[in-house]
């Protein structure tokens, strides 16, 4: 089962994914993909494989998409019973057409999102406003669980890990 982690910029998806990687470190039933992105590596950000657009174009991905002027992709979807990937909401329908999927939507109130984006310092105020204005509906028929990441890291991580445990239990029952 492919678990698609989605949510608005600033929701804390990468932070919660890092906490979940630690929580499931010794569990071979769950695999967290490492994305390939046409963005330079950032020691403070996501541990992704940084490639040029030309390199990206030569790769064979299980799933790929473009967002915010960048290209994203990953190759493996069959490395464990549950494979977890941080994706754009706009790619859910394409993924669901190819694989059994579940969605975990990570979110927070708008003021929390805005403060987190401003603290990153990667974008102008106009860019932050544009990101916060984006919406994308999750396609009908796709199972979704929402995780509110509006408290401490420990609380958010606990909620996210619990959601992954529920997905893992459901996948193993299939």
pLDDT tens digits, one per residue of 90-127? 999 999 999 999 999 999 998 888 888 888 777 777 77
Share of the chain above pLDDT 70, in %: 99
Q: How far apart are CA 108 and CA 151, in angstroms?
A: 9
Among the residue ranges 1-5, 7-11, 40-44, 142-146, the one predicted with the least confidence is 40-44
Helix (H, G, I), strand (E, B) or coil at 59: coil
Average pLDDT score over residue span 55-61: 95
Fold of 2-33+79-173: Rossmann fold (3.40.50)
Neighbours of 158 (CB within 10 A): 16
Q: What is the 3 state secondary structure string of 88-126? A: CHHHHHHHHHHCCEEEEEEECCHHHHHHHHHHHCCCCHH
CB-facing half-sphere around the CA of 138: CA atoms within 13 A = 18
pTM, to two decimals = 0.89
């Amino acid at each position: 089962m492919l678990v698609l982690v989605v949510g608005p910029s600033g929701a804390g998806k990468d932070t919660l994914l890092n906490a979940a990687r630690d929580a499931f470190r010794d569990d071979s039933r769950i695999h967290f993909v490492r994305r390939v992105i046409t963005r330079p590596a950032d020691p403070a950000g996501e541990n992704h494989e940084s490639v040029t657009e030309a390199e990206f174009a030569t790769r064979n991905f299980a799933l790929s998409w473009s967002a915010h002027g960048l290209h994203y992709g990953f190759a493996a979807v069959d490395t464990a019973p549950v494979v977890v990937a941080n994706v754009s909401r706009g790619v859910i329908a394409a993924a669901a057409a190819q694989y059994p999927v579940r969605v975990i939507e990570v979110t927070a109130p708008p003021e929390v999102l805005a403060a987190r984006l401003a603290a990153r310092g990667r974008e102008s105020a106009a860019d932050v406003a544009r990101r916060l204005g984006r919406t994308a509906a999750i396609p009908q028929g796709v199972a979704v669980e929402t995780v509110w990441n509006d408290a401490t890291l420990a609380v958010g991580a606990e909620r996210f890990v619990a959601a992954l445990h529920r997905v893992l239990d459901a996948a193993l029952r299939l």
